[in-house]
Structure 1
Amino acid sequence: MSENYLNHPTFGLLSRVCAVDEYRSLFTTLYAQRLFFLITNSPTGVQFEPVSRADAKLLVENRLRALRRVGPLNEHDILQNVYKRTFAQ
């Protein structure tokens, strides 16, 4: 899992937490990690959808479950560490 960044017009640099599916990824503000955005990449452009911390946590938990079932083990371990760092506060 590589680090991905995206520049938000208002909130500045966002860091990718994880891919949600083929077209959507969860991003957070780079420094505070308090604001979360569901980014949809489609042929019509990129859409920023703000999501609550609870919804972001749920999206990551769902992704962890999916990786545990069918994904590569190392990707699950990396995302587990990101989850602990991001939501352990």
Structure 2
Amino acid sequence: MTSENYLNHPTFGLLYRICIVEENQELFTTLYAQRVFFLVSNSANGISFQPVTRADARLTIDTRIRLLRRNGQVLEYQQLQAMMQQNFPG
């Protein structure tokens, strides 16, 4: 079962979570264009948005896919792989 997660950015509006990167850090993209990416960190100081390039977002997702495959998390692996093929063809 999948749950979609959204977050409101003060400038770019609604963001859609692509994947968890590590504890307290997730990769988000703008909901409609999916061309602007952010690493969102949640800490005791609050939420912080770090913009990342499309290439860095792709590398982050590749890294997460390898980790999921290694850990045998098949469903999450398949979902992220499908999202990757849809948003980063080629």
- TM-score by length of structure 2 reads 0.94
Equivalent-residue separation in structure 2 for 1:27 and 1:85 (angstroms): 15
Consecutive unaligned residues in structure 2, runs of 5 or more: none
Q: Tell me what 1:78 maps to.
A: 79
Higher relative contact order (CA 8 A, sep 6+): 1
Aligned residue in 1 for 2:3:
2
The alignment partner of 2:86 has SS state of helix
CA RMSD of aligned residues (A): 1.1
Residue 19 in 1 paired to residue 20 in 2?
Answer: yes
Q: CA deviation at 1:80?
A: 0.4
**Residue 34 of structure 1, CA deviation:** 0.4
The SS at the match of 1:60 is helix
SS in 1 for 2:67: helix
Q: 1:44 to 1:25 in 2, by over 3 A?
A: same
Counterpart in 1 of 2:51?
Answer: 50
Q: TM-score, normalised by structure 1?
A: 0.95
Amino acid at match of 2:80: L
- For 2:59, give the aligned amino acid: L
CA distance in 1 between counterparts of 2:22 and 2:74 reads 18
Q: How many residues end up aligned between the 2 structures?
A: 89
- Post-superposition Cα deviations, 1:39-84, rounded to whole Å, max 9, x if no partner, equal 0011110000000000000000000000000141011001101111
Tell me the equivalent position of 1:61. 62
Equivalent residue, structure 2, for 1:41: 42
